[in-house]
Amino acid sequence: MADNNTRNYVVGVDLGGTKILAGVFDSKLQPVGTTKFSTKAQRGPEAVLERVARCVLDAIDECDLETKQIRAVGVGAPGAVDPEHGEVIFAPNLGWKDIAVVKDLEKRLEVPVFLENDCHICMLGVYEQELKSKPKNVVGVFIGTGIGGGMIINGEPFSGANHTAGEVGHMVIDVNGPKCNCGNKGCFEVLAGRLAIFRAIQSAIKNGEKSLLTEMLGEDLKDLRSGDIRKAIRRGDKVVEKIVEEAAEYTGIAVANLVNILNPEIVVLGGGVIEALGDEMMPTITKSAKSHVMPGLFKNVEIFASKLGDNAGITGAAVLARDKTR
């Protein structure tokens, strides 16, 4: 049970396209407890923000704490974010545009709330917890429902002139590829994100290819999860294996582009897809990246899969909340 020192805790929230995860952390950024809700984005922004607030309050309650003991809440949200005004400018996977997240949540929670892009937040979590804030130049690629990125440049988080840097998921990989939610064609996200992998599997089955997933989940694959894909591959499902390998190859191309442009010491791969399928994807990602990087530029670049998994987002959001209230 947590102790009751006044305002000795922060809450980190990872708001995603399919789930909301809230974690309570103590003054040393040690996790105390977490709560998870489904996002239900189809209900609209107000309903989702109400669910975020409920998720935070449930997490606080599960830790036997009260809101008066919470110093601040950090939130990582997908898409283009304006941290200064606390707004989500555009989040295609939520269907949001110009949503005043901080104002809404501060009214509901009555504690200070700070907002950042979810992948910038994940990068903060990995950088502090796994990399111990040591490398000077790091790029993070986080593959979940969609794909986003975060960067540490010269030892500092980099967000660009308008705080929207890191939208690596909307790097165009194939100009003749499928249409993305952002309006472009052939974005990295629409070729290698979780939804892209799911769509490719469903399309293959619809076209008559045989997969063990239909035996596991039924013809409509209604409850398909990344873990099911891993199980199918390990049971020898060649259709699923090929689709995941293609997504890994595209990911390697994206990593190579980032290495060519930014010359980082480390490229971190994270997010729910990597957490579930890292063993299957990482060898192909690394091979593809090496084959697409300019000669000589891959020297001393390390690619690794984050071990934080889902906790990267809430950890980074807790770092944000802590740093903003020091």
Helix axes 238-262, 226-234, angle to 10 degrees: 120
**Residue 137 CB neighbour total at 10 angstroms:** 16
**In a domain? residue 138:** yes
Residue 244 tokens read as 């995941």
**In a domain? residue 281:** yes
CB 40 within 8 A of CB 94: no
CA pair distance 293, 139, nearest whole angstrom? 15
Which of 83, 98, 260, 94 has the alpha carbon at shortest distance from 165?
83
Which residues in 28-41 are b (16+ Cβ under 10 Å) and which e?
A: ebeebbbbebebeb
Calculate mean pLDDT across residues 62-85: 94
113 and 56 part of one domain: yes
**Domain range for 108:** 9-123+311-324
**Residue 237 CB neighbour total at 10 angstroms:** 21
φ/ψ of 112, rounded to 5, equals: -60, 140
**In a domain? residue 4:** no
The 10s digit of each residue's pLDDT in 123-165 is 999 999 999 999 999 999 999 888 989 999 999 999 888 878 8
Q: Quick one: pLDDT band at residue 321, thresholds 50, 70, 90? A: very high
**In a domain? residue 211:** yes
94 and 167 part of one domain: no
DSSP 131-183: STT--S-EEEEEESSSEEEEEEETTEE---TTS-TT-GGGSBS-TTSPBPTTS
Q: Quick one: pLDDT band at residue 2, thresholds 50, 70, 90? A: very low
Q: Quick one: pLDDT band at residue 190, thresholds 50, 70, 90? A: very high
**In a domain? residue 173:** yes
pLDDT of residue 64: 95
**In a domain? residue 2:** no
The 10s digit of each residue's pLDDT in 224-279 is 999 999 999 999 999 999 999 999 999 999 999 999 999 999 999 998 899 999 99
pLDDT of residue 61: 97
Q: Indicate if the pLDDT at residue 1 is higher than 50.
A: no
Q: Indicate if the pLDDT at residue 294 is higher than 90.
A: yes
22 and 117 part of one domain: yes
**Count of domains for the chain:** 2
CA pair distance 275, 238, nearest whole angstrom? 21
Average pLDDT, the chain: 93
95 and 152 part of one domain: no
The answer to whether the predicted template modeling score (pTM) of the entire model surpasses 0.95 is no
231 and 284 part of one domain: yes
CATH number at residue 107: 3.30.420.40
**In a domain? residue 224:** yes
Which of 251, 270, 250, 265 has the alpha carbon at shortest distance from 315?
270
Q: Indicate if the pLDDT at residue 199 is higher than 60.
A: yes
226 and 77 part of one domain: no
Which of 319, 260, 322, 325 has the alpha carbon at shortest distance from 289?
260
Q: Indicate if the pLDDT at residue 206 is higher than 70.
A: yes
300 and 161 part of one domain: yes
pLDDT of residue 145: 81
